[in-house]
Structure 1
Amino acid sequence: MEKKELDTTNNAKAALHPLKNKFVLWYTRRTPGVRNHTSDSYEDSIKKIVHFSTVEGFWVCYCHLSRPSSLLVPTDLHLFKEGIRPLWEDSANCNGGKWIIRFNKVVSGRFWEDLVLALVGDQLDYGDDICGAVLSIRFNEDIVSVWNRNASDNQAIMGLRDSIKRHLKLPHGYVMEYKPHDASLRDNSSYRNTWLRG
């Protein structure tokens, strides 16, 4: 009897479907009107929710998450590859930047879900250059951003943009903006003073 139970356990482990990358989901709930991104208190405010490395682990996590429409303002969800903190200063992020898309609050949840599935499923081009993605819940809009490692590789940046547009099936009128993290550090802002790239 013991032998049979052991075999069942091993079969259950073998049946899991590993992802190409391991991921960590983080959560930040900030005080409205308070900017503290460059201070230690910002890093302290980022909380790990869960990590996963299999398809099954992802769905267990995702099925229990609150939908974006039910999150308080301002809140950020960060889905990053394991070992990369969702900070501009992290060694994987410091030379990179992010593609930014602003969404009406009515549709942001669908686009975020599509992006998360593409990221977890390694469906985006230049996937090795991607560090993670952020959903920023704000008062008048929600903002989705995809972070990459190298802000000076124009081919990878534009290829990633095209891949995001294709996978999200972005309607023609949506504008994507790019901003290097060193520019964010200089002006202490994630979403102001972006480079418009179409």
Structure 2
Amino acid sequence: MTDVQAAGSSDNITQEVKTVLNDAKDFNALHGLNSEWTLWFDNPSKRTSTSNWTANLKEIVTLKAVEDFWGVYNNVAIASDLPNGSNYHLFRKGVRPMWEDAANARGGKWGYQFQRSIGEKVNEHWLHTLLACIGESFDSSPDVCGAVFSNRKSCFRIAIWTRNADDQEACENIGRHFKSVLGVSHPLEYFAHSDSSKTGNSVAYTV
């Protein structure tokens, strides 16, 4: 994260710096993120065809600071309450959460499925994933494009999308840290986006 900055401060104005920790309502200091991130939402159940999928992909907000993140996280629906079939996406600003985006086209994803019996506990796993992204805690953080939460009838799914499926070292570094962030012991599998639309797509890496 970048240094604390007073919102709207000026060289000509001396302003008392108030953080969200000592003034939750009238704070004027922001803890900037190293990168800006955009939260998206889509509900596939409302699609009428594959061709109009982008019409159902909604850009919610772009986050520039830690305070932005918590303000949004605490005021949107929790992940486990999303309608069946819908998704949250948190991606770097300028990267659309779709395979066709230039940043994703040569990449892939790590994913893990949680049984629905986990209930609201899955929200902790999603929060930890989000914090790992905006906190740039992955060893190969520049290769992380974004994270996706999917609510399905049979499971909850959390995934991390990466930029380059051919970079095995970076992919496996990200996968190992993602596994640690989720706190799971079962193997995680990585699939290249280029294989995902094929029948019988194969696992590229496992950690």
Q: Same fold (TM over 0.5)?
A: yes
Map of 1:63 onto structure 2: 74
Determine which structure has the larger helix proportion and give its number: 1
Shift of residue 36, structure 1, vs aligned partner: 4.8
Give CA-to-partner distance per residue, 1:76-122, whole Å, 9 cap, x none.
Answer: 00000000000101000000000011112323222111101111111
Q: What stretches of structure 1 move > 3 A for 4+ residues in a row?
A: 6-14, 34-37
Report % sequence identity.
32
TM-score (norm 2): 0.81
Residues 73-88 of structure 1 aligned to structure 2 (within 5 Å): 73-88=84-99
| Alignment size in residue pairs | 185
Map of 2:55 onto structure 1: 44
Q: Which runs of 5+ in 2 are unaligned?
A: 1-11, 19-26
Map of 1:3 onto structure 2: none
Map of 1:143 onto structure 2: 157
Q: Distance in 2 between matches of 1:167 and 1:65?
A: 22
Shift of residue 23, structure 1, vs aligned partner: 0.6
Shift of residue 126, structure 1, vs aligned partner: 0.6
Map of 1:157 onto structure 2: 171
Q: Which runs of 5+ in 1 are unaligned?
A: 1-5
Shift of residue 14, structure 1, vs aligned partner: 6.9
Shift of residue 66, structure 1, vs aligned partner: 0.9
CA RMSD after TM alignment:
2.5
Check whether the contact 1:77–1:134 (CA below 8 A) recurs between aligned residues. Answer: yes
TM-score (norm 1): 0.84
User: Whose RCO is larger (CA < 8 A, sep 6+)?
Assistant: 1
